[in-house]
Structure 1
Amino acid sequence: MPTNRSGTFLAKWQEALRVLGWPLVLLLLVALVLGGGGVRHGLANLVVQIVALGILLLYPGILRRFRDAAPKSLIILVALTLLLPIFHLIPLPAGIWQSLPGREMALQSRELVNSGNDWFPLTLDRGRTVTALVALVGPLAVIACFRFGSNSAPRHALALLATVAFVQFAFGVIQFAAGGDTLTLYETNQVGRFYGFFVSHIASGLVMVIGLCALVGHYLSDERSNVATLLYLAGGALLVIGVILTNSRSAVALLILPGLWVLAVAAKRAWVMPRRTRWGFLAAGIVGAMAVAAVFATNDRLGRTWDRFDSFEDSRPDIWEDTLVGIDRYWPVGSGVGSFDEVFQVEESLEMLVAKKAARAHNEYLEILLEAGIFGAILVSLWFVYLAYAVIRGLRSVHAPVTLAAAMAALCFALQALVYFPLRNMAELCVAGLLVALLTAPLTIKRDRSH
């Protein structure tokens, strides 16, 4: 009797929805569709935040379950992350805030309106700090919604990440088919780049690279038939094409990580094949690689990405240099979480001015140092230590493929943060929250060692 494949597929999605819970799936999809515009699109971000807050308030059991099931170290780190912007918003006596580094101009401007002796918080831009604090409700809800302690939740979460990437890819294809800027969501988009739901082609590329990592991890998390293997390969090829069409050099460079992983898996499996089958497998791989190379070489849209690698000159090094000046001015307390755009205008040197305002440091680590000083540096270090420990534990468990996929995706975030700001929009913040939950999952599952 033939197998009802459509029924099986639907059953798998129903199982995934049951295990993950519809609030998590809904929040990720809403964040993808509406949360890719960054701080300048506050109303769209507000919808994502309301959905996240509504989930936490309407289902208080989610927070209780998170408190009971999540590791205490994760709960402490989440609390410290929330407390940092709150600490920056606490009003301070005039004698304290006036003595903080870099407050000379703030004091002079406040004295002009006779408020030099009033109480003010540490941050120099309360509005942006409040915005940064409210933005954290998204990743908090994602982490809290994750079913810690479930053996099947990590694998289903990888499927959700891959689905997010495919939805992004599909919408980008529709944009390309429509032509021009008919379906572009944000005013800064340039025709010819693959944006999907994002204002930035770089963010668009990163989400699809993360989806590719998730796809590889999901494939390795279970035994697959030859037909399923071909489907996974086809899906991966589509995401690779999508990344290249974004014209983002950093996103294309990040393809090396899942690419090397796929090659290592293929080499390992080819090694145990019979010799005749191995040579056929190798020949098919070579033919496939040549076909892909031919498509890339003859397609103008794909060729534009390679052309961008001819020159790496841009304004980023100049922005970094001016940011370092700002870090020195406000060290060790920082200028306030989210205040970069407000304070950087003072640090920007005249000879490095460009027509377009910098708005961001284009380096997440430097921006955190300027805004949060030594407290931000300590918090980031604690997150790195915690996630590294979680990765080590996860790689020694039966969930090693899932952990490796999540670790590789998190590494993509960390590497792109050197030249961009991947944690400054709601969509990628929520994706990052799910990666944190995925890496934490093995710490909450008993008897998970693979030996």
Structure 2
Amino acid sequence: MMMNVQSRHSRRRRRGRLPLSASQGGWLPLALFCAAFVVLALGGGSNRTDVLSLLYVRPALVLVLVGVILLVPSAELKPLRVPLLFLLCGVALALIQLIPLPPVIWTALPGRELMVEAAQAQGVAQPWRPISLTPDLTVQALLWFLAPACALVGWAAVPSDGRRRVLFVLLGVAMVSALLGGLQAVQGVGSPLYLYQRTYEGNAVGFLANRNHQAALLAAMLPLLRIVTLLPATTPQVALRRQIASGLCALALIPLIMLTASRAGMGLMVVGIVMAAMMAPLASGRRGKLLSWGLLIGGVAIAALVFFFGRALALNRLFELNALDDLRLRNTPQVLKMTWDFFPFGSGLGSFDPVFRILEPDILLRPTTYNHAHNDFFEVAMTGGVAGIALMAAGLAWWLLAGWRLFRSRGRVGTSGLMGRAGWSVMLILMLASTVDYPLRPPLMGFIFAVAAAWVAQALYRAADRASALQKSEAGIGTPSSVKSYEELNP
């Protein structure tokens, strides 16, 4: 058994540096990872170009990215090769859209007729132009990839015995954001607790600038709280304390999501509860059943009290909804038309706002701005063209296949599998939110989404590695005990 484990370690040394444990000096990658998380929480809750906090958030992310690249063992990047590939493809798409093209090619691209006519009317010669109609905003979109890059490489650099702490850091940031949002809603308009000038004053937004983004973040925490109750504990007392703490946090999230006044957040909260129940079989035994029923009754009671006292802002907005006045529904046909007009090359990542204002028909004119499509799938299709559509389709296919592999097992699931299920659930909630809004645009949310993707990829890699080891043991190569030892070394 020991020879088998040593051979695996020697192979890992040949592939790259053997990762250090936290006690051996591997604390630095974890510190850098957490530092990036804190910086994003304080200043990465909005992706508007006029947000001043991005002036320090982006340089900080560059420093963190350089640090974790220098510290990450190359072998630890292998499990994350699929998310990293998607990340690199997104970066490549943005860079390609910034390459200047000669006038004869640029003027032949779909959707450029208005610009060509304007230049001809003024008698101005066409210069070399990139595919993107707004190169400066495409550069801004390119910088967005800093956050998910830090998340993926940082996760790979964190020692295996320190990765569980990332879960608690994520939950800690989300719960602080939830409490901050509660205080914002209580103080109302003019509260000094809002971090951004352009935000939803009077609603709970926490570390973010958008109430829908805050609701999506809090709903995504419900499956993670369920995971905390399933992690191995040193003693039964520790396990019980985790269950109680997680249950109380889950109950607290219900009214705090309602305070966001996000209609979509209500639906996402239900999805989060369902996914939390699907993490693993519900608790058994008398105490487990009492705890489950207590959480259910408590959640319903809290929701009823919030509604009774008139603080269920999300429910109030849901009852007042008029589909004819909903800009998302009114503007969607125009967004789809623009997608076809710029197909197959797109208008350029980040270009939606100015391009929509140029091509917006008079019938849709409103005194308010419509800075995003409020459906990120449509917006990426419009701005990224066929390449963006292909990238989204490939990502969705990988995610669906991963979900089938992670949830098909009905038996006991290890820590890696549980984290994979949790990551898949977080991705589900954030992608559902992306069908009616743009929650992944803030760097903080992009970071969380990438961490969830890392959990999914890690779980798939561990499952494939274990299956391979079992096949070898059945063939007489190695022993089942060596497989167990490998699982213990790679939780």
TM range (shorter): 0.7 to 0.9
Residue 85 (structure 2) pairs with residue 76 (structure 1): yes
Amino acid at match of 2:246: Y
Residue 227 (structure 2) pairs with residue 213 (structure 1): no
Match of 1:424 in 2: 441
Secondary structure of the structure 2 residue equivalent to 1:309? helix
Deviation at 1:319, TM superposition (A): 1.4
Match of 2:43 in 1: 34
Match of 1:164 in 2: 173
* Distance in 1 of aligned mates of 2:280 and 2:423: 20
> Is the 2:334–2:360 contact (alpha carbons within 8 Å) kept by the matching residues of 1?
yes
Amino acid at match of 1:419: V
Deviation at 1:273, TM superposition (A): 2.6
Distance 1:57-1:66 versus aligned 2 partners, 3 A rule: farther
Aligned pairs (5 A) from 1:74-153: 74-111=83-120, 115-147=124-156, 151-152=160-161
* Distance in 1 of aligned mates of 2:27 and 2:322: 47
Distance 1:261-1:369 versus aligned 2 partners, 3 A rule: closer
> Is the 1:124–1:335 contact (alpha carbons within 8 Å) kept by the matching residues of 2?
yes
Secondary structure of the structure 2 residue equivalent to 1:225? helix
> Is the 2:138–2:349 contact (alpha carbons within 8 Å) kept by the matching residues of 1?
yes
Amino acid at match of 2:223: C
Amino acid at match of 2:440: L
Secondary structure of the structure 2 residue equivalent to 1:334? coil
* Distance in 2 of aligned mates of 1:248 and 1:167: 19
Match of 1:401 in 2: 418
The higher relative CO (CA closer than 8 Å, separation ≥ 6) is in 1
Match of 1:24 in 2: 33
Normalised by the length of structure 2, the TM-score is 0.80
Residue 197 (structure 2) pairs with residue 183 (structure 1): no
Distance 1:262-1:198 versus aligned 2 partners, 3 A rule: closer
Residue 253 (structure 2) pairs with residue 239 (structure 1): yes
Amino acid at match of 2:346: G
Amino acid at match of 1:199: A
Match of 1:339 in 2: 351
* Distance in 1 of aligned mates of 2:28 and 2:267: 34
> Is the 1:148–1:441 contact (alpha carbons within 8 Å) kept by the matching residues of 2?
no
Match of 2:316 in 1: 307
Deviates more, 1:410-419 or 1:208-217: 208-217
Match of 2:19 in 1: none
Residue 458 (structure 2) pairs with residue 441 (structure 1): yes
Distance 1:320-1:282 versus aligned 2 partners, 3 A rule: closer
Match of 2:308 in 1: 298
Residue 384 (structure 2) pairs with residue 375 (structure 1): no
Distance 1:254-1:153 versus aligned 2 partners, 3 A rule: farther
Match of 2:282 in 1: 268
Match of 1:199 in 2: 209
Deviates more, 1:126-135 or 1:256-265: 256-265
Distance 1:134-1:105 versus aligned 2 partners, 3 A rule: same
> Is the 1:159–1:215 contact (alpha carbons within 8 Å) kept by the matching residues of 2?
no
Normalised by the length of structure 1, the TM-score is 0.86
Match of 1:3 in 2: none
* Distance in 1 of aligned mates of 2:91 and 2:304: 50
Secondary structure of the structure 2 residue equivalent to 1:222? coil
The alignment covers a number of residue pairs equal to: 434
Determine which of 263, 281, 285 is the counterpart of 1:249: 263
* Partner deviation per Cα, 1:165-203 (whole Å, 9 max, x = no partner): 112113223434555422222233344310112211111
Match of 1:227 in 2: 241
* Distance in 2 of aligned mates of 1:268 and 1:358: 44
> Is the 2:84–2:152 contact (alpha carbons within 8 Å) kept by the matching residues of 1?
no
> Is the 1:20–1:156 contact (alpha carbons within 8 Å) kept by the matching residues of 2?
no
State the identity %. Answer: 21
Residue 419 (structure 2) pairs with residue 410 (structure 1): no
> Is the 2:279–2:418 contact (alpha carbons within 8 Å) kept by the matching residues of 1?
no
Secondary structure of the structure 2 residue equivalent to 1:424? coil
Deviation at 1:78, TM superposition (A): 2.1
Match of 1:321 in 2: 333
> Is the 2:227–2:422 contact (alpha carbons within 8 Å) kept by the matching residues of 1?
yes
Aligned pairs (5 A) from 1:350-365: 350-365=362-377
The gaps in structure 2 that reach 5 residues or longer are: 1-21, 471-491
* Partner deviation per Cα, 1:71-125 (whole Å, 9 max, x = no partner): 4434332221110000000011111111000111122334466553321111100
Deviation at 1:56, TM superposition (A): 2.4
Deviates more, 1:71-80 or 1:47-56: 71-80
Distance 1:216-1:286 versus aligned 2 partners, 3 A rule: closer
Secondary structure of the structure 2 residue equivalent to 1:419? coil
* Distance in 1 of aligned mates of 2:436 and 2:248: 30
